[in-house]
């Protein structure tokens, strides 16, 4: 019994000694936060809170932003600037009432002259004056706008390169058929383009007047085919200097009868 009691006493002493040794070891680890490696450098151990503080960036709530550029407004159009929808360089004379008359070719070099419905001053083009394009050697075609209500004598005469005349839709005073210019009702033949390649011209029986120089220097014209009788042809008022007309053969509907 004595031996058993002595063993128990010894065991209790060993357990107590082991517990004290472990407690001392734990206390030493808490007091030593750093360990050295074989290279002599210290290893730093960070708590989760410390790691978060080291890795997350900090902000001071101050933002720097480039200013937006101020848009440049489109320039205000000059109300006095008029867009001319046609040939430029033509000359005009104001009629003093917001309308004007085309008076000449001016500095225009277009082969196809498009007469605008208004000039650069904003006046509406309502007339083509006498001899406006007379003898214009470079003009091959002419477009007359709907705004024109009158055309003066010899306006397109003696233009050696002129092959075609057209009239805009809506013009109540004039029309063109096959490139030949007439009054809207067809009673006046105003000009037959001198440079037309056709050797024959057809003239309606409605024609009552052929303007002076309407047929001038028409080098290719050989025949006039008139849709009326010889008696009707004789009643047509033919202006001066229609040399090409006088030189052509006139074929009426009753020819040969």
CA 240 and chain centroid, separation:
47
pLDDT at 127: 99
- Total domains in the fold of the chain: 1
Mean pLDDT of 34-51: 48
- Report yes or no on 59 lying in a domain: no
Question: The whole model's pTM is what?
Answer: 0.69
Tell whether 147 is covered by a domain: yes
Quick: pLDDT tens for 120-140: 999 999 999 999 999 999 999
> If you average pLDDT over residues 59-71, what whole number do you get?
55
| Full domain range(s) for residue 166 | 91-251
Q: Report yes or no on 13 lying in a domain.
A: no
> Hey, what are 55's tokens?
């890795």
Task: Identify the pLDDT of residue 83.
Answer: 62
Contact 142, 167 (CB under 8 A): no
Per-residue pLDDT band at 36 (split at 50, 70, 90): very low
Please tell me the distance from the alpha carbon of residue 193 to that of residue 210, in angstroms, as a whole number.
Answer: 13
Q: Confirm whether 14 is domain-assigned.
A: no
Lowest mean pLDDT among 72-81, 83-92, 140-149, 186-195: 72-81
Note the pLDDT tens digit of each residue in 181-198: 999 999 999 999 999 999
Task: With respect to residue 77, please indicate whether it lies within any of the assigned structural domains.
Answer: no
Q: What is the DSSP string of 89-144?
A: S-EEEE-SSSEEEEEE-TT---SEEE--SB-TTS-EEEEE-TTTTTT-TT--EEEE
The domain spanning residue 247 has which CATH number? 3.80.10.10
Q: How far does Cα 212 stand from its chain's mean position?
A: 42
Is 48 inside any structural domain?
Answer: no
């Amino acid at each position: 019994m004595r031996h058993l009691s002595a063993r128990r006493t010894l065991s209790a002493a060993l357990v107590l000694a082991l517990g004290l040794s472990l407690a001392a070891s734990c206390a030493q680890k808490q007091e030593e936060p750093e360990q050295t490696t074989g290279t002599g450098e210290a290893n730093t151990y960070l708590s989760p809170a410390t790691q978060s503080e080291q890795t997350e960036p900090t902000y001071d709530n101050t933002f720097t932003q480039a200013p937006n550029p101020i848009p440049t407004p489109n320039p205000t159009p000059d109300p006095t600037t008029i867009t001319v929808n046609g040939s430029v360089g033509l000359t005009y004379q104001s009629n003093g009432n917001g309308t004007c008359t085309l008076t000449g070719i001016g500095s225009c070099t277009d082969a196809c002259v498009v007469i605008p419905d208004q000039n650069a001053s904003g006046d509406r083009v309502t007339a083509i004056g006498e001899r406006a394009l007379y003898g214009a050697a470079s003009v091959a075609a002419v477009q007359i706008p709907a705004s024109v209500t009158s055309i003066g004598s010899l306006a397109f005469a003696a233009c050696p390169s002129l092959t075609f005349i057209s009239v805009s839709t809506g013009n109540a005073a004039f029309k063109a058929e096959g490139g030949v210019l007439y009054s809207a009702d067809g009673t006046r033949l105003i000009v037959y383009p001198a440079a037309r390649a056709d050797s024959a011209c057809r003239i309606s029986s409605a024609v009552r007047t052929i303007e002076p120089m309407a047929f001038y220097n028409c080098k290719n014209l050989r025949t006039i085919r008139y849709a009326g009788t010889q008696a009707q042809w004789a009643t047509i008022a033919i202006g001066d200097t229609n040399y090409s007309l006088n030189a052509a053969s006139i074929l009426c509907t009753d020819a040969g009868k």
